[in-house]
């Protein structure tokens, strides 16, 4: 199977192999060494000196955790959204009692950093800004550098910036410290080439100060406990050990390839995918000026049944793509090209598409 959904992604053979190692004591020295290695390597991928916490959950769990640690009921939150995952982030904050203002942009287009900045300048009491770096549902990579700059321009009493980097980190440039991202959340199962089951969260000093005071209920998600245990090489609760074996091996592979090379590879493959799609006579869904280098959304040709197309690709060609989500269901399909991916993998996707479209 050529699994090219926007996550979970295929795993390199050595990562799959690593997951079969025997289980160890999560309170013992071998585990502590693994946690320290993984955390140090994650800091490089996050480009941060901050704490990076490892939670056993999906990426969404990591986003819920970050929210629960950063907001108190009644806090004003500004959520910039141009897709399903932007909406989800807003919904999480709402479920924790925050007063969420949505700043919506058309799906398929990017979040406008200038509009965000104007809003923040006139309404100065937002505690938190929510943004999705790479909108998996539409194939748009938001200009996080500009968005972070818009927030930072407000000075010392600016809101915190929480970034959903689930489908970007480790594939698309993200400079946590340089850009001043207070909380960055990703999952193990996308660009990081590891199995699903772990959420990874970096927190700035400003975020920690907020976490000390936040009043949203939390126990499993409590970052203070996570930091306390991390200092002794442990997690507060039994972690997904096999997933950590996989993540450690994947991070070693990433370190060998080099983060800049990985980002360049994704840029190359993103372009290759889009050019290939257009050469097939298909239309891209997203604004090409902000096209994502990890997910490409393609419009389903007029009169064609999306589910039938995806089933044919899977059954006749062993190619697994993602469908559209929410209002985009039936209107687009999505090709994931992140993590363990090469031009050849995408060539296989394009070739299968060509055959199915002709057939």
Residues of the shown chain interacting with its own copies in the complex, contacts defined by CB under 8 A: 1, 3, 5, 7-11, 16-17, 19-28, 56-61, 63-64, 68, 91-92, 95-97, 187, 189, 195-197, 216-222, 236-243, 246, 314, 320, 322-323
Residue number with CB closer to its own copies (173 or 195): 195
Residue number with CB closer to its own copies (151 or 338): 338
Shortest Cβ distance from residue 234 to its own copies (Å)? 12
Q: How far apart are CA 122 and CA 357, in angstroms?
A: 50
Residue 28: phi and psi, rounded to 5, are -110, 175
Shortest Cβ distance from residue 122 to its own copies (Å)? 29
Q: How far apart are CA 82 and CA 321, in angstroms?
A: 22
Shortest Cβ distance from residue 118 to its own copies (Å)? 29
Residue number with CB closer to its own copies (241 or 346): 241
H/E element, 101 = strand 99-104
Residue number with CB closer to its own copies (139 or 196): 196
Please report the beta strands in 124-209, taking only residues with DSSP state E, as ranges in sequence order: 128-132, 134-135, 140-141, 160-164, 183-187, 198-203
What one-character DSSP code corresponds to residue 51? E
Cis peptide leading into residue 8 (ω within 30°): yes
Q: How far apart are CA 58 and CA 294, in angstroms?
A: 19
Shortest Cβ distance from residue 21 to its own copies (Å)? 8
Residue number with CB closer to its own copies (65 or 148): 65
Shortest Cβ distance from residue 325 to its own copies (Å)? 10
């Amino acid at each position: 199977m050529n699994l090219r959904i926007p996550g979970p992604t295929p795993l390199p053979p050595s990562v799959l192999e690593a997951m079969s190692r025997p289980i160890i004591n999560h309170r013992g020295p071998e585990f502590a060494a693994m946690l320290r290695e993984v955390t140090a390597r994650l800091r490089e991928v996050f480009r941060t000196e901050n704490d990076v916490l490892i939670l056993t959950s999906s990426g969404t769990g990591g986003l819920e955790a970050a929210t629960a640690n950063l907001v108190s009921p009644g806090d004003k939150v500004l959520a910039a959204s141009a897709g399903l995952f932007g909406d989800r982030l807003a919904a999480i904050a709402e479920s924790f009692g925050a007063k969420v203002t949505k700043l919506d942009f058309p799906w398929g287009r990017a979040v406008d950093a200038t509009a965000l900045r104007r809003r923040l300048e006139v309404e100065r009491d937002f505690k938190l800004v929510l943004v999705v770096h790479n909108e998996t549902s539409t194939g748009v990579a938001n200009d996080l550098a500009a968005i972070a700059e818009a927030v930072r321009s407000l000075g010392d009493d600016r809101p915190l910036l929480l970034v959903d980097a689930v489908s970007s980190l480790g594939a698309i440039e993200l400079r946590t410290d340089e850009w001043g991202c207070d909380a960055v959340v990703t999952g193990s199962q996308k660009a990081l080439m590891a199995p699903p089951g772990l959420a990874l969260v970096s927190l700035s000093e400003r975020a920690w100060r907020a976490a000390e005071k936040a009043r949203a209920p939390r126990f499993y998600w409590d970052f203070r406990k996570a930091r306390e245990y991390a200092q002794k090489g442990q997690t507060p609760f039994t972690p997904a050990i096999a997933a950590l074996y996989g993540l450690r091996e994947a991070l070693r592979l990433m370190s060998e390839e080099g983060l800049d090379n990985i980002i360049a590879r994704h840029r190359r493959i993103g372009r290759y995918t889009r050019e290939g799609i257009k050469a097939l006579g298909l239309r891209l869904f997203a604004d090409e000026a902000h096209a994502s280098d990890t997910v490409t959304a393609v419009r389903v040709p007029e009169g064609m049944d999306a589910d039938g197309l995806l089933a044919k690709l899977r059954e006749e060609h062993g190619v697994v793509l993602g469908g559209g989500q929410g209002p985009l269901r039936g209107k687009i399909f999505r090709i994931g090209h992140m993590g363990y991916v090469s031009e050849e993998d995408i060539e296989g996707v394009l070739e299968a598409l060509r055959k199915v479209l002709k057939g």
